[in-house]
Amino acid sequence: MTTHKIRRFILPVLLTLLILLSVVLSMYIWLNPSRYEHESKVSTASSNSSLTTRTIDDIYLPTQLIYTNSQGKQSLLINKNVSLVSQFSEQLRKWDARSISKVRISSAKSYQALLNGEDSYVLNFPDSITVSLFNTVFKQNLNSFRSSEFSRIVIPVNDTNHIYFLNDDHHEIYSVRLKHKSLKSLKRVLSTDEVKQIAVKMSYGNGEAHIDYPKQVTMQHYSYLMSKAAASEIANRLLDADGNSTVSVHNRNGKQEYTTGSYKRMTVDSKLGTVYFEDYSDSGTTRNLSLTSQLKKSFNLLASLGVAMDNIRYYGFDATSNSVIYRSYVEGFPIFNQTENGDVRIQLTSNGLDRYYFSLYSLQVPVPTTGKKQAVTLPSSTSVLKQLKAAGYKDSKIGSIELGYEWTQNKSSKLVIDLTPTYYVYYNGSWRTYTSMLSGS
């Protein structure tokens, strides 16, 4: 066979193989499940990096879904493969909220009756939001009571025209009249075998609703690869947003201090991986921020930090310091110990001073866990409370008891973070694990 004939034979074959290889690689990229796990909005926040961010709709979603059946039994519903809260939220966006009115009630007992109403779902926020923010997150347009606060949405199964907003502080109830309300698609999602039920009991007293776990709780242990943001990039983003400022760096008492002029300062604790940022550029400017304004503005500032936001949710508002608090979540449960306070804080003061406190570390992708660490069984919250009292802790100083995850460094790898389920107790102004309280550590 001549050289010319060989070339004529080989070239088409090679071309065909290359085309087939391209098709196979394309199919792999499109069908790889990881693209769904990390689906997010991407925005360019600086000239040299693009950041994975999330919208305000993602951050201010509820974190818990509780169902009360026709016998009054209550369960926290979880599906580790699909976020049930997100499924409910997507459905709620399709309903047409026509009007809102305040329900006149005379007692906390009446409030609890609706909170524990039979055959109903409750979407719980970690803390209060406003009707105005509800409009933003759920694509609605309720014109009345826009500044009113609530932290729970009750969805009765057999009422096709209404949902209810509940405000624990003053046991206030708001009735929202709907059009196009339907739970059919949600019932299909909830009927699958992947849905896990954790027994709970909601009670109400002293202007606060409590969620108790009356039985032992078995939860998964998780491990994640850890990522760390570059302090220098965050400093440039926060201190040199226009690209025209000079950022100075000094080492003070084992910490790195970044400054630009006399108005902005960022302090990095390299040992803890935490960042404390202060902005004095508007200091002295009097501002009266409503809760809605605080929540919306703090979200914009959170998105500007450049830290990973994949697991972050709104956790609460501290009225004493005017701080909006965010935490990372796994399956609807908050993660503690990531920073000194276990959270991200955005403080907007009335005199124009802004402060941010956050961590350089974030969770990246889950890694397999093996052996005994795959699941952890915890006692009931009632048992925990009894043990704490027996150990001498004062009932008056014991606040919320919350089921969550403890962030700890993996002993085998510095790149891996272990998330261990446990109870956190708000005692005397700080969060502590119940085991550390009982051991005295």
Specify whether the CB–CB gap between 171 and 108 falls below 8 A: yes
Q: Is 29 helix (H, G, I), strand (E, B) or coil?
A: helix
Distances (CA, A) of 53 to 219, 300, 301: 29, 11, 12
Whole-number Å distance between alpha carbons of 197 and 220? 14
Q: Which of 187, 212, 237 is the last residue of a domain?
A: 212
Same domain, 315 and 357: yes
Q: Which domain holds residue 356?
A: 226-364
Same domain, 375 and 356: no
Q: Which two tokens stand for residue 236?
A: 């440039």
How many alpha carbons lie under 13 Å from residue 198 in its C-beta half-sphere?
26
Q: How many domains does the chain have?
A: 3
Q: Which of 332, 364, 396 is the last residue of a domain?
A: 364
Q: Is residue 63 part of a domain?
A: yes
pLDDT of residue 117: 95
Same domain, 277 and 351: yes
pLDDT of residue 174: 96
Same domain, 157 and 254: no
Whole-number Å distance between alpha carbons of 336 and 381? 18
Q: Is residue 9 part of a domain?
A: no
DSSP 98-116: EEEEEEP---HHHHHHHHT
Distances (CA, A) of 97 to 94, 100, 267, 373: 9, 8, 46, 45
Q: Is residue 265 part of a domain?
A: yes
Same domain, 73 and 194: yes
pLDDT of residue 6: 45
pLDDT of residue 36: 26
pLDDT of residue 373: 64
Closest CA to 361 of 238, 225, 226, 224: 226
Return the DSSP state at 57.
H
Same domain, 203 and 236: no
Residues of the chain with pLDDT under 70: 1-53, 241-243, 338, 340-342, 370-373
Same domain, 90 and 203: yes
Same domain, 233 and 261: yes
Same domain, 157 and 118: yes
Same domain, 230 and 360: yes
Residue 76's contacts (CB-CB under 8 Å, 6 or more residues apart) are: 64, 65, 66, 197, 198, 199, 200, 211, 332
Q: Which of 159, 186, 212 is the last residue of a domain?
A: 212
Same domain, 163 and 268: no
